[in-house]
């Protein structure tokens, strides 16, 4: 690699790193990640640091033994475009995992997961 190309590569890397801070990041969830709840939630709420696009968001919801639990489509919370609400069916006691994928206003996709236990 010659010196010019190397400089460009460094600049691109620096730009990508800076942009990463603008991505929609999960700040909080209900139930909280790693928590045990006594009452099964009717919906899982995902709070992000920036507005997200519900239409470009999806969730894979699984229970004990990685069995897929049918959840509703993620929608934006009323009056809050930073929060996704995912309706879930009546949950039995057990461990659950929410694998979310969303898109922020900057067009970047991010994903992550939240695990919780219903007592």
Confirm or reject binding of residue 14 to Cu ion (CB under 5 A). no
Confirm or reject binding of residue 22 to Cu ion (CB under 5 A). yes
Counting residues that bind Cu ion (by CB under 5 A) gives: 4
Q: Using CB atoms, what's the residue nearest to Cu ion? A: 108
Confirm or reject binding of residue 108 to Cu ion (CB under 5 A). yes
Confirm or reject binding of residue 80 to Cu ion (CB under 5 A). no
**Candidate segments 5-13, 49-57, 86-94, 107-115, binder of Cu ion by CB under 5 A:** 107-115
| C-alpha closest to that of 72 among 85, 91, 56 | 85
Cis amide prior to 31 (ω within 30 degrees)? yes
As a whole number of angstroms, the distance between CA 92 and CA 44 comes to 15
Residue 107, phi then psi, degrees to nearest 5? 85, 0
* Cβ-contact 41, 31 below 8 angstroms: yes
> Within 10 Å of residue 83's Cβ, how many Cβ atoms?
22
Question: Least Å distance between CB 18 and Cu ion?
Answer: 10
Question: Least Å distance between CB 93 and Cu ion?
Answer: 38
Residues contributing to the site for Cu ion (CB under 5 A): 22-23, 106, 108
């Amino acid at each position: 690699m010659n010196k010019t190309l190397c400089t460009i590569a460094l600049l691109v890397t620096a730009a990508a790193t800076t942009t990463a801070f603008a991505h929609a990041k999960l700040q909080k969830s209900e139930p909280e990640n790693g928590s045990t709840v006594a009452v099964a939630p009717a919906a899982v709420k995902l709070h992000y640091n920036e507005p997200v696009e519900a239409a470009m968001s999806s969730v894979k919801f699984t229970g004990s033994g990685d069995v897929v639990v049918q959840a509703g489509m993620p929608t934006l919370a009323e009056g809050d475009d930073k929060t996704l609400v995912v309706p879930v069916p009546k949950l039995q006691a057990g461990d659950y995992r929410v694998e979310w994928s969303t898109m922020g206003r900057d067009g970047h996709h991010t994903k992550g997961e939240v695990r919780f236990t219903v007592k």
